[in-house]
Structure 1
C-alpha cells in the first residue's frame, strides 16, 4: 500500500491475500509473504524493501517457494516493471502468477501478452487519473473556496478553527477546516518588514536589524515544525521569502513552489515557463492581510538604493516595471551619462565571452520612458515619476521594450502599441 496515513494495513493486506489465495486454490499453498508499506508503485522493486527481499530470496539457494503470486497487479507494478520482474524470476526458474491470468503468466501466449500490455497501461492510467483529479480538486478548493489545504502557516500567522468540514461524511468524523489568522507574537514583525522594504531599505539591512533586536526567526518561533533547523537567526533568504509570499496580501495560495520570483500570475509577466505556474490564488480575501496589495506589488523586484562614491543616492523610478520583448527579462537599472536608464543584456555577463548569436543590448532612458507614459496617459501628465510608477503598479501595467515598438502591456494580456524604436550602432536604442 502506498500510504500509511490513509490506509489500514490489516484491511489492505487482507483483501490482497484473499485474492492471491483464491488464485492458487487447489494448486499450491502460500509459504512466505512480502508486503510493502508507504512505497509508491512508481518505485522500482529494488527501491521497495519487501520487494527487494523477495527478489533476494528468489535468488537464494534455499528458497521455500517455486512461484510468486500477486494479489493485485496495480499495487505491484507500474509501466514496464512487470517485464523486468518476470524476466528475473524466470531466470531463477520461478513462475509469476496473476489473478487476471488465473495462474502463471506466459508471455509467449498472445492473449497473456495483450493482457499484460492492457494491465500496464491501466496501472499508469490509474496513477495519472488519480493525480489529475486530486490536483484539480485542490486547485478549485483553493481558488474558488479559498480553503486552507494544509502545511505550516506562514510566519506571522497561526491556524484557527474555520468550522466543520464541508463534506458531511468527514464532518461526521469530527474533521474541521482551518484558516489563517495573525499571530500576535510575529504578525507585527511581518508588517514591519514590508514597511521597511517599501522605504527602499535593503533586505540585508532588515535581516541585520531583526537579529540585533533579538526577534525570533521563523525556525525559532515554531520549533515543533522546524526541528531540522540548527541555526536560529534571520538570513537574507528568509526575509526574501516573506517579501515574495503573496499570502500576506490576504489571499490563499496553493501549489506555489520554486522557480524564481513567486509573484502571482496576474501580478506581472513571469520569467517562469507556463508549466511552472500551475498554482492557484483565491478569488477572494480569505484571511486578514498583513500588507496591502499595492505595497506588495511595489516592492517586488525592488533594489535598495546605494550611495555613490560622492555620497549621493541614485534612484530608478521605474525599476521592475520595464521588460525586454526579446528575452522576457526585466531590464536592469543602469546609470549612463549622469542620468538613470534601463538595460538588458539578455543574460550575458562580463565573466564570459559574448556569444555571436546573442541579441544586441537593449537600453532605454528613464526620462524618455516617463515622457512616453505622460503622453500615453494624459491624466498623469502633471504627475511626477513616482506617481506614474505607482499608477502602473496599481493598474498592473508593464513597459515592454526591445522590439520594433515600445508597448504598455497589461499583465497577461495583449500589448498596446505606442512609440517606435530605431537601431543605432551596436545597441538597440529606444529613443
Structure 2
C-alpha cells in the first residue's frame, strides 16, 4: 500500500522540529512495516491541535488531495493520534476519509481504523478525551504557575513593555536549567526617552486636565505616540498621533506604580460559524475585569507614579458627576456600534437623558476632517424599546437589566445608522435580527 504520513508539532521555539518529526515518522513507519511504504508527507509546524484541519496548512493540503483520483497514496498513517486530532476532530473527519476510500492507520489501534468496530470507536472516544485532558491540564498548570510567579515573585512574564519602560537584564534566570543555558531574567526599567512623558501625563491629569487636552498638547509638540515610538512591534498600526484611547490606556495601567500585573487580557475562541463548528474557531482578545488581574505583592520595578497619585487619577476618570452632583448612568455603554464607520459609540448626555453618539473618529485631540459624515446620535430609551420588541418577538419577557445582561453574556452589539438598528455579534456586523426603522426624531 502507498501511505501518506501526517504529523504535527505546536511550537517552533520550544520544540526541536527534527526530533519531533523523526519520532512521529518512526512511529508511523513501524506501524505499516510489511504493509506498504510512505510516499507522501504532511507535517504541520507551529499550529495548535485545537485548530481544525482546515486551518492547518499541511492538513488542509492533505484534505484537498483526497478528491484527486491521481493522488499518490491509498491510505493515511498518523504519527500519534493525540498530536493529530483534538476532541471530536477524528470523528468529524473519519466519514470524509471513508468517502474517498482512504484508510486511516493509527498506532494506538495497531492498524487501520474500522468504523464498524465498537472497540475502535470506544478507543477513539478515549483518545479524544485524553487529547482534551492534556491541553486542559497543561493550561491549568501553566496559568497556576504564572499566577504565583506574578503575585509572589513579581516576575516579568513576557509581552511588550508598556510605553515608558524598556526591558533590561536582572540576573540569572530563576530556573537553574535555563540559567545554565545562558538565559537571563528580565525586568522593566524606565526608558530614558519616554518615561518623562508618562510622568507628565499623570501630572497633567492630576491637575484636572482633560484627556483630550493632554493628547492635543502631545500632538502639538510632536511627541511620538506609543506605536510610532516602537515601529518594530507596531508595524500593523497606521495611526501615528496620540489618541484619547492611547492616553487613557496609560492612565489606567497599574504597572506604572512599580507593581507587575498579569492577566489583564485573555484570548477567547469563538466559532467562525456558530451553525457549523467544524469550520473552526478564531481567536479574539478581550480585557479581563480588574478583579481577575494578578498584581505583585511588592514593588518590583522603578515606579513612574506613586500609588496614591495613580488611585487619585482613577477617581478623576471614573467619577464625572453632573452639575447637580448626581451620577449619570448609561445602561448600554460599550454595546452600541456605529453602522457607518464601525466604531463603538460614546455615551452622551443631552436634553436631560442618556444617549450615544459617534463622531466617526473625530476628537478634540486633532483637527476635524471636513469629509467625514455628520455625527450620529441615538437615544437610549428608543434603543431599549427596540430591544424589548425584538426579544418579545422571540418569546422572552426580560426586564431592562436582564436584557442587557443577555447581550453582554452572548457578546452581542447594537449596530445603528441613520435609519435602523441591527442586533449582531460583537465580532462583526452580520445581522442576526432584521432591522427596524427608527422614529425620525432623535433628540
Which runs of structure 2 are paired with 1:193-212 in the superposition (5 Å)? 193-212=201-220
Change in Cα spacing, 1:276 to 1:19, as seen in structure 2 (3 Å) is farther
Partner of 2:135: 127
Choose which of 329, 347, 354 in structure 2 pairs with 1:349.
354
| 1:177-207 Cα shifts (integer Å, max 9, x gaps) | 1111111211111111001001110001001
Q: Take 2:331 and 2:60, find their aligned partners in 1: how far apart are those partners?
A: 50
Q: Give the C-alpha shift of residue 12 in structure 1.
A: 0.7
Give the structure 2 partner of residue 406 of structure 1.
Answer: none
Deviation at 1:222, TM superposition (A): 2.0
Q: State how far apart, in whole Å, the 2-side matches of 1:223 and 1:90 are.
A: 50
Match among 193, 198, 206 for residue 190 of structure 1: 198
CA distance in 1, matches of 2:135, 2:260: 28
Distance of 1:275 and 1:204 partners within structure 2: 25
Residue of structure 2 aligned with 1:291, choices 305, 309, 314: 305
Correspondence for 1:223: 231
Q: Is the 8 A contact 1:139 1:279 kept in 2?
A: no
Q: Is the 8 A contact 2:150 2:295 kept in 1?
A: yes
Could you report, residue by residue, the CA deviation over 1:355-413 in whole angstroms, capped at 9, with x for unpaired residues? Answer: 69448xxxxxxxxxxxxxxxxxxxxxxxxxxxxxxxxxxxxxxxxxxxxxxxxxxxxxx
Contact between 2:215 and 2:243, CA under 8 Å: does it hold in 1?
Answer: yes
2: distance between equivalents of 1:114 and 1:140? 39
The match for 1:315 is none
**2:298 is paired with a residue of what secondary structure?**
strand
> Residue 108 and residue 246 in structure 1: after superposition, are their counterparts in 2 closer, same or farther (change >3 A)?
same
In 2, the alpha carbon distance for the partners of 1:16 and 1:8 equals 13
The whole-number CA distance in structure 2 between the counterparts of 1:117 and 1:229 is 45
User: Does 2:335 align with 1:335?
Assistant: no
TM-aligned CA deviation for residue 8 of structure 1: 1.6
CA contact (8 A) 2:258 2:300 kept: yes
**Structure-2-length-normalised TM-score:** 0.68
SS at match of 1:134: helix
State the shift of 1:228 in Å.
2.5
**Cross-structure match for 1:17:** 25
Counterpart contact for 2:258–2:301, Cα < 8 Å: yes
Q: Normalising by the residue count of structure 1, what TM-score does the alignment of the two structures yield? A: 0.70
Match of 2:100 in 1: 92
Alignment of 1:100-249 (within 5 A): 100-249=108-257
Aligned equivalents of 2:63, 2:37: Cα separation in 1: 19
CA distance in 2, matches of 1:204, 1:147: 34
- Off by >6 Å, runs of 4+ in structure 1: 272-276
Please state how far the C-alpha of 1:77 moved relative to its aligned partner: 0.3
Q: 1:221 offset after TM fit, Å? A: 2.2
CA separation of 1:201/1:275 partners in 2, compared to 1, >3 Å: closer, same or farther? closer
CA distance in 1, matches of 2:163, 2:95: 53
Separation in 1 of the partners of 2:290 and 2:127? 31
Aligned length: 318
Deviation at 1:93, TM superposition (A): 1.1
Runs of at least 5 residues in structure 1 that lack an aligned partner in the other structure:
260-271, 304-318, 321-331, 360-431
1:213-266: CA deviation from partner (whole Å, max 9, x where unpaired): 22222123223222223332211111001000000011001121289xxxxxxx
User: Where does residue 403 of structure 1 map in the other structure?
Assistant: none
Partner-residue secondary structure (3-state), 1:85: helix
Change (3 A) 1:345 1:100: closer
Which consecutive residues of structure 2, in runs of 5 or more, have no partner in the other structure? 1-8, 268-285, 333-352, 356-378, 389-398, 402-443
